[in-house]
Amino acid sequence: MTDRAPDHPSPDGPSVTAVRDAAEAILAELERAIVGKREPLKLLLAGMLADGHLLLEDNPGLAKTLAARSLATVCGLKFSRIQFTPDLLPSDVTGSAMLDRTTGQLRFQPGPLFAQVVLADEVNRTPPKTQAALLEAMQERQVTLDGISHPLGAPFIVIATQNPIEHEGTYPLPEAQLDRFMLRISLGYPNADDEWQVLARRLERQSENVALRPMLDADGLLVLRAAVEKVHVSEPVGRYVVDIVRATRKHPQVEVGASPRGALALMAVSRALAALDGRDFVRPDDVKQAARPTLGHRLVLRSEAWVRRVRGDDIVAAVLESVPAPVSVRE
């Protein structure tokens, strides 16, 4: 058994080596602004290469907004920020029909959703009606107004943030919307040395902002995505993905397990992680690394699990312990 890609000529196009080299340059530039968070940043980049939307869930002050803005800047993408509030209307997000005084006709005026990277800041602070407007854009990559569909360009990535410790004045994201986020990522607190580096760099540059350089552009991102599509997944590794997802549905503390969309997301992120390491095939370790941020937020837990403060990530960790991984062999 092997997880190596089949020995046949590959079509012309970008290689996974190009993905690895570009990723190293992007991550090095991002680390000028965000210190000591290589693995979460790598997951963010993997989600972007897998053409997925990203949910940053963490306590206040841990650089969620900075990470989203910096990623857009370094990847050379058009960035838009929407501050989600209780009085935000769907038209404030998607755009609306405006009267063109020169023609006397209604003309669609695009909203802030028409960007390449959209930061939905504190997404759980807006009512369900406005969240639903975001849902269509995330799933269909379009906005519909008065029966007319307005397509969103490519790439189109929503990076949403939410604070897990505040519940007053918030509207929990419905399961259908959570399922549209490919990854849920937490940056976490820095260690003591990294936190001192944050302070030391701030003193050295004598400015709050870090001037980051674009290391890519929209066309370059699409080229890297094409390389990720060439990453091989052997049948044993693919069945390992299926076994993990099916095990979440059978876990006694889970009411609703991960769907086939979760399996597709797990495979996509695993392929992107392999490409970031310069490999054209997926290893079981790639699947393990991707499993918790890809599947944890998709699980609906039973009430007794909530009482015990069990999280979806804990269930996925238990599943990874119970599901045997295939032996990875390279010829």
Q: Tally the domains of the chain.
A: 1
**Quick check: is 239 in a domain?**
yes
pLDDT of residue 107: 81
pLDDT of residue 13: 64
**Quick check: is 223 in a domain?**
yes
pLDDT of residue 2: 42
Distance of CA 207 to the CA centre of its chain: 29
Q: Can you read off the two tokens belonging to residue 28?
A: 């090095």
Pairing outcome for strands 105-110 and 142-145: unpaired
- Which H or E run includes 133? helix 128-140
Q: Check which CATH number belongs to the domain holding 210 and give it.
A: 3.40.50.300
Integer Cα distance of 134 and 136 in angstroms: 6
**Quick check: is 125 in a domain?**
yes
pLDDT of residue 100: 74
**Quick check: is 327 in a domain?**
no
Count H helices and E strands in the chain, helices first.
Answer: 13, 11
**Quick check: is 331 in a domain?**
no
**Quick check: is 80 in a domain?**
yes
- The DSSP bridge partners found for residue 81 are 119
**Quick check: is 4 in a domain?**
no
- Full residue range of the structural domain in which residue 38 is found: 16-322
Closest CA to 253 of 292, 205, 302: 302
**Quick check: is 5 in a domain?**
no
Low-confidence ranges of the chain (pLDDT < 50): 1-11, 329, 331
Is-above-0.85 flag for pTM?
Answer: yes
C-alpha distances (whole Å) from 34 to each of 3, 137, 195, 198, 277 are 35, 29, 10, 8, 21
